[in-house]
Structure 1
């Protein structure tokens, strides 16, 4: 293991985090709030980053270093990103918010992993600078491990693509253009433009500029932190809900498809099996839930609007709320839990198992059935017209097995807190899927404050495991990864 190179990359990332905190510091100054939490944190993170970034190291870089570096970076970024919350909680203990560092760590990890789970019972008492940082963390972490690999490691050779082996094959694991640095710029360009368009749309719908910014950050990163206690429901605006629903779904689509559209390859986009599967699941779920909740709303249009918003927020793993779906019939609630597992498309800012993996698993099941019926036939699994090799399919099987084992194991640990199965299981599923709200105690109008410190740490690790596609964090905790040879 090339530890010096790993620490050097970590240091550079921490410098980026310190620079990113200048924006919420500026917001504090603009609204005449106490800037001390950021004035303490920024120099501290910058000092650590400078020390690590100036370590001398060779350029020997292999897949093990890549996975190890990404996992370590996300853990440290979450740990240090919690400091503004911690210092603010010490300055204003009378408000009873951010009482412990574990609570701050949970909130920070939830922000960077775009989970949106919160330990806060109320967010409106918080200053705008702190709220801005919560939502901005979503935007910073939104592009996930894919862009970390492309943006941070372009000079270390083509092996940087090993970081994305957990993703299913397709445009997502190949460079958009020959140079990885150019690919990074293209993806971030698309990301920024879509975010700005959403800000403009929300402003035209009557939302204040500050709210438009933070809600767009949370939507772009499919995170879900809101600056209102009632989330998006507080605005009482069908127009706002429709805009956010549309952009949640847009940010759930593979960003490589947007690049193909810009290149004029619309037909290739329309042939995407994953995109078609995603759209079918979304529209089918909206129809089924709309019918199931029709009796709860005055008009069919209102039922469809709420169904579309909640389907969009769950399958995109954003976590906003326009209504308390915890009060919906059991059929709709179970369907939403199934959408938590499916998640968004690969190569998007969303979480979950990802539509491409679910689609490959379904096709693999059908292949096995055909093989049993016709033992001598040759059956292959195709995605976007291409034959998937067995190594790619094996990686999907391993990912799914690891994902489910971690989910069940974490559920067993969190169950020690003795909450109901609905609360315990959906809390774990919502965290490892980077969704945020679950059912019952952790529903859209609830929070995670009642969990024990141990459960909060386990749930925080689940968030990182889910955001990093499982394997990087497993590599970090593997004894073989720490060996120098």
Structure 2
């Protein structure tokens, strides 16, 4: 099968045009706060002009059919090109003058990881910080899904792109047409973002801080406008609002849609959602008792800090209200293990995902039954329905490859001179798109001290994690490039 390179280039140009427009949308904040506008303005123009030029040169294409391979290539090239051009505001403004650091910060935004190299966030111009938050919001649901909604207008089918980019095992279609699915997803995404912004403003946040934190909460990204992250706001109300929306952002958007429609029975009957909810509540209560007995800060405060950190790590948001590495050592181990959990498939969260863990455990227990009854047909069931064996094999392969990449990443980054805890935390948090890790990249530190090689390695891991491994790894398979 031949690649439709002309269509791939045209689509990449379209993505860059949209990227440039989003940059220009940050200008009102620079103007309002009396900051220089040339960095965002020039970056937006360069990106939009370059994108529109390559789109114009490749717009006339005889074949408008988008093959599955084309979809995978567009997604990877789209994320990389947006990250390269998304670095321009940092470089031109001088807030991050080094390209390696600027690219790291940008791809950390688009992949909703939240790992940062900025040592003094509050000193950065407000317009640039808004762009930083916006990169996470764009990457949260995926700009690919946004553009899929307009592909039919251009005469191009978008199912291949949606499958390549959408998180989880497979999208649960709310309506038959992919255009309608994408529109509904973005309607929910935008509606929740605006709702959180209003609630945060009621809690005393300024409009600027509220919109930034709403953008990065719904993206499960975790970039904050404050050096101390959410710990800056000593407000139970604000923290509980953010907990709620982090949890919603980590919920399958199809389930959220059913909730808005009042179909609560359908929501609770979903096995992944029940497991996700149970894990969050059970762990939060257990950890709260240990924190309360150790620190004596009052049970409500202990429960709130525990719940906040559990939800933040499970949903791969990465906000911080407390340094969980300063708690009991075994609690640090629990939070490290949570970095491999992930929230729901079909959400903006990263990680392995609850549904994969559910299928993995079910298949493991059923394997013992199969050993006792080798002639019996015992399928894995999810939500009362038998799961296709191909999906089970896919889950097993995904988890195995995920752990293999994690181990390889720890081995490679150890050559940069970081200690073992830092190596474990940096790789786990990058691959899981979480943000804070362990050691010198823990909740109260950042990634500024990591070597250039380490930052490029972690950037690659962020992309792998955001695009669910296979989308990127397929490009390294020689058979992917064969023409047949």
Supply the distance in 2 between the matched residues of 1:481 and 1:14 (Cα, whole angstroms). Answer: 25
Supply the distance in 2 between the matched residues of 1:182 and 1:324 (Cα, whole angstroms). Answer: 42
Supply the distance in 2 between the matched residues of 1:130 and 1:230 (Cα, whole angstroms). Answer: 18
- For the pair 1:72 / 2:77, whether they are aligned, the reply is yes
Shift of 1:33: 0.3
Q: 1:168 corresponds to which residue?
A: 169
| CA offsets 1:388-435 (integer angstroms, 9 cap, x no match) | 111111111121122112111111111111211111111111011000
Supply the distance in 2 between the matched residues of 1:462 and 1:353 (Cα, whole angstroms). Answer: 13
Supply the distance in 1 between the matched residues of 2:166 and 2:447 (Cα, whole angstroms). Answer: 32
Change (3 A) 1:125 1:137: same
Q: 2:110 corresponds to which residue?
A: 112
Shift of 1:223: 0.5
- For the pair 1:258 / 2:263, whether they are aligned, the reply is no
Q: 1:349 corresponds to which residue?
A: 348
Change (3 A) 1:361 1:228: same
Q: Secondary structure at the match of 1:342?
A: coil
1:36 equivalent among 26, 35, 38: 38
Shift of 1:264: 3.9
2:146·2:186 contact (CA, 8 Å) conserved in 1?
no
1:253·1:348 contact (CA, 8 Å) conserved in 2?
yes
| CA offsets 1:101-137 (integer angstroms, 9 cap, x no match) | 0000000000111100001111011010011111111
Change (3 A) 1:158 1:202: closer
Q: 2:188 corresponds to which residue?
A: 190
Supply the distance in 1 between the matched residues of 2:296 and 2:209 (Cα, whole angstroms). Answer: 27
Q: 1:446 corresponds to which residue?
A: 445
Supply the distance in 2 between the matched residues of 1:68 and 1:61 (Cα, whole angstroms). Answer: 11
Supply the distance in 1 between the matched residues of 2:345 and 2:230 (Cα, whole angstroms). Answer: 26
Shift of 1:266: 2.4
Supply the distance in 1 between the matched residues of 2:283 and 2:191 (Cα, whole angstroms). Answer: 29
Supply the distance in 1 between the matched residues of 2:385 and 2:55 (Cα, whole angstroms). Answer: 42
Spell out the pairing of 1:42-61 with structure 2 (5 A cutoff).
42-54=44-56, 55=58, 56-57=60-61, 58-61=63-66
Spell out the pairing of 1:66-145 with structure 2 (5 A cutoff).
66-89=71-94, 97-144=95-142
Q: 2:312 corresponds to which residue?
A: 313
Which 5+ residue runs of structure 2 have no aligned equivalent?
A: none
Supply the distance in 2 between the matched residues of 1:432 and 1:297 (Cα, whole angstroms). Answer: 35
Supply the distance in 2 between the matched residues of 1:261 and 1:224 (Cα, whole angstroms). Answer: 25
Shift of 1:335: 0.9
Shift of 1:144: 3.1
2:167·2:346 contact (CA, 8 Å) conserved in 1?
no
Q: 1:392 corresponds to which residue?
A: 391
Q: Secondary structure at the match of 2:53?
A: helix
Q: 1:402 corresponds to which residue?
A: 401
Supply the distance in 2 between the matched residues of 1:179 and 1:230 (Cα, whole angstroms). Answer: 44
Q: Secondary structure at the match of 1:124?
A: helix
Supply the distance in 2 between the matched residues of 1:270 and 1:108 (Cα, whole angstroms). Answer: 37
Q: 1:376 corresponds to which residue?
A: 375
Spell out the pairing of 1:429-440 with structure 2 (5 A cutoff).
429-440=428-439
Q: 1:93 corresponds to which residue?
A: none
Spell out the pairing of 1:260-339 with structure 2 (5 A cutoff).
260-294=258-292, 295-339=294-338
Q: Secondary structure at the match of 1:168?
A: coil
Q: Secondary structure at the match of 1:260?
A: helix
| CA offsets 1:437-482 (integer angstroms, 9 cap, x no match) | 0012011110001111111001011111100011111123334434
Supply the distance in 1 between the matched residues of 2:160 and 2:324 (Cα, whole angstroms). Answer: 44
Shift of 1:158: 4.6
Q: Secondary structure at the match of 2:52?
A: helix
2:27 equivalent among 4, 14, 25: 25
Spell out the pairing of 1:8-19 with structure 2 (5 A cutoff).
8-19=10-21
| CA offsets 1:305-324 (integer angstroms, 9 cap, x no match) | 10001001100111110011
Shift of 1:157: 6.0
1:324·1:444 contact (CA, 8 Å) conserved in 2?
yes
- For the pair 1:213 / 2:211, whether they are aligned, the reply is yes
2:23·2:44 contact (CA, 8 Å) conserved in 1?
yes
Which 5+ residue runs of structure 1 have no aligned equivalent?
A: 90-96
Q: 1:225 corresponds to which residue?
A: 223
Supply the distance in 2 between the matched residues of 1:308 and 1:145 (Cα, whole angstroms). Answer: 30
Shift of 1:60: 3.0
Q: 2:233 corresponds to which residue?
A: 235
Relative contact order higher in (CA < 8 Å, ≥ 6 apart) = 1
Q: 2:176 corresponds to which residue?
A: 178
Shift of 1:146: 7.4
Shift of 1:374: 2.4
State the TM-score, normalized to the length of structure 2. 0.94
Q: 1:94 corresponds to which residue?
A: none
Shift of 1:232: 0.7
Shift of 1:159: 4.5
Q: 1:246 corresponds to which residue?
A: 244
Supply the distance in 2 between the matched residues of 1:21 and 1:313 (Cα, whole angstroms). Answer: 28
2:167·2:347 contact (CA, 8 Å) conserved in 1?
no
Supply the distance in 2 between the matched residues of 1:306 and 1:142 (Cα, whole angstroms). Answer: 25
